[in-house]
Amino acid sequence: MHDLEGLAEPGSVEAGLLKVIETAKLPKHIAVIMDGNGRWAGLRSLPRVAGHRAGMVSVREVVETSAKLGLEVLTLYAFSVENWKRPRAEVRMLMNLLKEFARRELRNIQESNVRFRVIGRAQELQPSVQRILTQAVESTRDNSGMLLQIALNYSGRAELVDATNRILLERVRNADKHPITEEQLSGCLYTAGVPDPDLLIRTSGEMRISNFLLWQIAYSEIYVTPTLWPDFRRKDLFEAIVEFQRRNRRYGGL
Ligand code: FPP
């Protein structure tokens, strides 16, 4: 269901873009690599953490806009397994921001009828982070609108390893010798049951996948924008969708 009210001031750039967007052909699932927070801060001679905090404003706007557009799924890459290599103070700040997001944004998420979920090795996060995230997941469980997936302590390779181990265990338990199928592997990923992303957006101009949703993006359209994540606004999301709708998806066919 679309609720486009309040998404654009009459006569604005956003209104112009909204007119071009075909609501019947929206991507079902958009995944975002939110990159460029550090550079955004550096350009303003601010500490890197200021960039992450500013990035929260973009998160709020993109979540709200995606829910109003009627997307089925939005997946945001918030913290990778590799991000533990960053300075301790930055990691601590990122974890605090996530807690703040799960606590403070919960009301907005509820009002938007959004279902919240974490993908990644969440069991390895600090207990205080796990507790707050679990509360957010539990309290939005029955919402029927968009699914918001936050990738946390996430790695696409680790996800494939975890899925393979789950399959191996089941096979031993059931003395199963059938070859493994794509459906079986898909069904053991963190994203089991969720449609693959139609559109993958990466901000800050880097042409990399960075270990994100390696299996699921097999046929995703990739959109890279030079905009740094803290500057990414509704207009930028609309531009990505307009570009997506111009593409001719062939899935390997003609
Ligand atoms: C990449 O920018 C961004 C991250 C590693 C963290 C993203 C986190 C947020 C936007 C805030 C919290 C998110 C949620 C969902 C509550 P970078 O630091 O690698 O930037 P750089 O490449 O310019 O250094």
Selecting among 3, 83, 108, 248, the annotated active-site residue is 83
Query: Each residue of 160-201: pLDDT tens digit?
Result: 999 999 999 999 999 988 999 999 999 999 999 999 999 999
Query: Each residue of 12-59: pLDDT tens digit?
Result: 999 999 999 999 999 999 999 999 999 999 999 999 999 999 999 999
127 inside domain: yes
**165 is known as an active-site residue:** no
The beta strand positions in 97-154, using DSSP E, are 115-119, 147-154
137 inside domain: yes
Q: What is the pLDDT of residue 106?
A: 86
Q: Which of 32, 34, 90, 119 to mutate to test the pocket of ligand 1 (most atoms within 8 A of CB)?
A: 34
Tokens of 214: 């390696």
Phi, psi of 158 (to 5 degrees): -60, -35
Pick from 242, 237, 243: nearest CA to 68: 237
Rounded CA separation 128/112 (Å): 26
Protein residue with least CA distance to atom 3, ligand 1: 35
77 inside domain: yes
Output the domain CATH number for residue 137. Answer: 3.40.1180.10
Protein residue with least CA distance to atom 10, ligand 1: 55
84 inside domain: yes
5 pLDDT more than 90: no
- Cα dihedral 61, 66, 70, 72 sign: negative
Q: Check if the beta carbon of residue 145 is closer than 8 Å to that of residue 112.
A: yes
133 lines ligand 1 (CB under 6 A): no
17 lines ligand 1 (CB under 6 A): no
The beta strand positions in the chain, using DSSP E, are 29-33, 73-80, 115-119, 147-154, 199-202, 221-224
DSSP classification of residue 99: H
3 inside domain: no
Confidence of residue 112 (pLDDT cuts 50, 70, 90): very high
233 inside domain: yes
Rounded CA separation 36/203 (Å): 7
- Bridge partners (DSSP) of residue 154 are 80
Rounded CA separation 79/196 (Å): 20
Q: How far is the CA of 22 from the centre of ligand 1 (A)?
A: 30
Query: Each residue of 136-157: pLDDT tens digit?
Result: 999 999 999 999 999 999 999 9
Q: What is the pLDDT of residue 107?
A: 86
Q: Which is it for strands 221-224 and 73-80: parallel, antiparallel or unpaired?
A: unpaired
Helix (H) or strand (E) holding 36: none
Dihedral through CA 130, CA 134, CA 135, CA 138, nearest 10? 180
Q: How far is the CA of 231 from the centre of ligand 1 (A)?
A: 12
97 inside domain: yes
Q: What is the pLDDT of residue 165?
A: 97
Residue in the block written with tokens 């069991």: 123
184 inside domain: no
Q: Check if the beta carbon of residue 198 is closer than 8 Å to that of residue 209.
A: no
83 lines ligand 1 (CB under 6 A): yes
4 pLDDT more than 90: no
Q: How far is the CA of 154 from the centre of ligand 1 (A)?
A: 13
**248 is known as an active-site residue:** no
Query: Each residue of 62-107: pLDDT tens digit?
Result: 999 999 999 999 999 999 999 999 999 999 999 999 999 998 888 8
35 lines ligand 1 (CB under 6 A): yes
Q: Check if the beta carbon of residue 130 is closer than 8 Å to that of residue 191.
A: no
Q: Check if the beta carbon of residue 229 is closer than 8 Å to that of residue 35.
A: yes
Could you list the residue range(s) of the whole structural domain that residue 56 is in?
Answer: 13-155+198-246
Picking from 28-32, 88-92, 109-113, 125-129, which range would have the lowest pLDDT averaged per residue? Answer: 109-113
Domain count, the chain: 1
More confident residue, 39 or 4: 39
Phi, psi of 79 (to 5 degrees): -160, 120
| Atom from ligand 1 closest to the CA of residue 77 | 7
Rounded CA separation 169/242 (Å): 44
Q: How far is the CA of 158 from the centre of ligand 1 (A)?
A: 20
249 pLDDT more than 90: no
| Atom from ligand 1 closest to the CA of residue 51 | 18
